[in-house]
Chain A
Amino acid sequence: MELAIKQFKVGTRHFVKGLLEVLFVGGKAFYVWMIFLTVLIMAGVATYAAQLMQGMAMTNMTDQVSWGFYISNFTFLVGVAAAAVLLVIPAYLYHFKSIKKIVAFGELLAVTAVSMAMLFVLVDLGRPDRFWHILPGLGRLNFPSSILAWDILALNGYLLLNLAITSYIGGCTYFGREPDKRLVIPLILLSIPWAIGIHTVTAYLYNGLSARPFWNASILAPRFLASAFCAGPALMIIIFQLLRKVMNFKVQDRAIFKLAEIIAYAMAINLFLMFAEIFKEYYSGTVHVAPLQYLYEGLHGHHRLVPWIWTAMIFNAVGFILFLLPRTRERFFTLNIGCLLIFVGIWIEKGIGLIVPGFIPDTLHEIYEYSPSLREVAVGLGIWALGCLIYTLAVRTVIALDTGRLRSPGAPAMIHDEDE
């Protein structure tokens, strides 16, 4: 018994020491990156503290446009969290081996993106001190009536599910054991419909509001899925190349090009759905066309969002063409341009471009324009920086586990299953 306790203590110490090394020791670039992120996070925290003290009047939100930059980023990030599904589906259902290796990074991205999304909701709350009112059992969660209650459950479930999968696989790697497929495969299979679920529920959050014709269109949920399948993988492609360069991690070109191809199809569907929506609203020409007019051409002399949405349209269209043609898709220079264009394009389209026109014109047809205040942007940047920090550390941990730098002393040597 005593021996077991002693072994456990030694083992824990070894693990903690190893992990701390992974988290805090690195090259010059690593320290610069971490300090940069920390500064942004501190600035965000300080700004959020000011918001707590002064109330939300320091944002540019009003009774007319009552959701803004925060909820826009929330919506976009729920989309990014789908990256996991996209990588998991081909890897596990079609045994596409070159993607299989990088699934962990996708799932960690999902964990990070969902955490960021939930933080964006938290900073949007007028009374974060009453956060416990949503806790099932403690508070009074309005389930199943409120779609927000559904979303709280869906997002937290998704977070836990992905955390469980990644930490189980990570733990197995640490102890040099093969993960039990009977446990992992069902969890991964569950994470696929769940990812589609968080998207659908988040779309329904807006979709179900008859007061807001811009969102009250049944094409919203399909469009959410399509655009998620663009932005998520675009981010992954960039991340994989960075990993190859900075961390000396092997990712095959073939896997990256496959992702780019998937983006091309997803973007085609996204653009098609968008045109379907534009056609319906403009051709029928009811009063419900007003928010679309505000977004794409300006309404009654107000056009603050017009340059943004056309930037997004052009970015998405150019990105689509770059990814459609094998010649540009399989050349890293054009591939990276495409990724950047699509990531930014979807961020605009599915963020500010989706949330703000829901409120303009408002329900009594008043036009009150919105753009985020500097302090809203500072809080938002803080959350993005925190996400980058979490992801950087998570990726370092995965790589240390995979290369055996972080390994239990008693673990058997791992036999690496090389793809080729």
Chain B
Amino acid sequence: MEDENSRNEPIVKLSRRKVLKSVATGIGILAMPTSNASASVWEAFFQKHFRELSRDELKQVLARLEAAYRQECGREITVKATPPLDGVKFGYGLDLSRCIGCRRCVHGCVAENNQSRQPQIHWIRALQLQKDKGIDLDHAEHYYNPAAVPLDGHFYLPVQCQQCERPACTKVCPVKATWTEADGIVVIDYNWCIGCRYCMAACPYGARHFNWEKAAIPAGELNPDTHYLGNRPRPVGVTEKCTFCIQRTREQPGRYPACVEACPVGARKFGNLLDPAGEIRQLLESKRVFILKQELNTQPKFFYFFAT
């Protein structure tokens, strides 16, 4: 393992390790775990940034996480780290004229992505807007609850991470714990985030959510197919957000994000922006497209459109 390190970044890595170890002996006296789990606790504490991990180190990290989840949840959970596919940049389309505001996407997302049930975290927020006011967030109803949707005179605007090309959130992170992957997905290394919440202040879409306490998810409801940068159970004290279901969309053959599958009216479209014949490109070229807060120049890869 040490050799693998040295191959990547010989000088920095070795000295960093050394310095950290000596720093840790001091701190360690306070936090020293007494059980035989101590080795993995130390490994977790010293874990490098995701993008600095060598292939072997990554394997060890994933194995450690799987073991920890097994112990914590009492069942097998796989954690993968599937890399981006070549020639792919994901884009999303949402048809505002079809959406009925049923929130099936919200709940599909919660189940797929292991979001906390208590307190509730929702990566998608559906807003109920008044038709005569248009897209006027000031009159949005966030907690609408009519007997049946859609409610007369209203339309619906689901908002989630807009996967910006110029993300305000990654720019402000003081420790580079969040970044844009080659396939355009903005991800977070939950094991590197320090929980300062600067990204939450910076995001214009309220897309980032914080684990104010340890997420509570009934073990039976856990989705065991997880990705390191996506839906694996999150530690307390870090931010999380939509990843275009990175654990599904990067597979080959790929699967649609859970919200696309959950939508009963087909309002949600997803695909590769680099594929000229793909559905997402077709709708960008032929429909009236609307970008949320376009004036902020965040350049989302999430496009609202009106099909009718």
Contacts and interface: CB of A to CB of B under 8 A. Distances in A.
Nearest to B44: A129
B203 to A, nearest CB: 6
Contact of A146 (B174, B205, B208): B174
A67 B201 contact: yes
Contact of B212 (A55, A125, A209, A362): A55
A133 B177 contact: yes
A66 interface: yes
A4 interface: no
A126 B171 contact: no
Interface in A35-82: 54-57, 59, 61-64, 66-67
Contacts of A210: 168, 204, 296
B198 A138 contact: no
A149 interface: yes
A67 B125 CA distance: 21
Nearest to A126: B195
Nearest to B215: A55
B219 interface: no
Contacts of B16: 137-138
B238 to A, nearest CB: 6
A358 interface: yes
A152 B197 contact: no
A130 interface: yes
Interface stretch (B53-61, B137-145, B271-279): B137-145
A174 to B, nearest CB: 29
B203 A140 contact: no
Contacts of A145: 171-172
A362 B204 CA distance: 9
A139 B201 contact: no
Chain A CB within 10 A, most for which of B137, B159, B203:
B137
Nearest to A208: B172
A264 to B, nearest CB: 34
Interface residues of B, number: 52
A132 interface: yes
B49 interface: yes
B211 interface: yes
Interface string A358-377: 11011111100000000000
Interface in A345-386: 358-359, 361-366
Given A55-B212, A126-B211, A130-B194, A66 B172 contact: no
B200 A55 contact: no
Interface in B197-223: 197-198, 200-206, 208-214
B196 interface: yes
Contacts of B175: 130, 133-134, 139-142
A209 B202 contact: yes
B193 interface: yes
Nearest to A290: B138
B contacts with A: majority SS: loop
A125 B194 contact: yes
Contact of A66 (B52, B137, B201): B201
A138 B138 CA distance: 45
Contacts of B176: 140, 142
Contacts of B161: none
A66 B196 CA distance: 9
Contact of B198 (A56, A61, A148, A359): A148
A142 B211 contact: no
Interface in B232-248: 235-238
A365 B140 contact: yes
B62 to A, nearest CB: 19
B173 interface: yes
B209 A132 contact: no
A61 B212 contact: yes
B192 interface: yes
B51 to A, nearest CB: 9
Contacts of A137: 12, 16
Contacts of A244: none
B210 A63 contact: yes
Given A55-B211, A57-B212, A126-B236, A146 B173 contact: yes
Nearest to B122: A63
B19 interface: yes
A29 interface: no
A147 interface: yes
B238 A126 contact: yes
Contacts of A57: 119, 212-213
Contacts of B23: 132
A362 B213 contact: no
Contact of B196 (A124, A139, A362): A124
B196 to A, nearest CB: 6
B20 interface: yes
Contact of B205 (A61, A121, A364): A364
B196 A125 contact: yes
9 contacts: A56-B210, A59-B212, A126-B236, A142-B173, A142-B175, A146-B171, A211-B202, A364-B127, A366-B142
Given A130-B175, A132-B20, A361-B138, 18 more contacts: A55-B214, A56-B213, A63-B206, A66-B200, A67-B201, A126-B196, A126-B197, A128-B194, A133-B49, A140-B175, A140-B192, A141-B175, A146-B174, A209-B172, A209-B201, A287-B138, A358-B201, A365-B140
Interface of B: 12, 16, 19-20, 23, 31, 45, 49, 52, 119, 121, 125, 127, 137-138, 140, 142, 159, 168, 171-177, 192-198, 200-206, 208-214, 235-238, 296
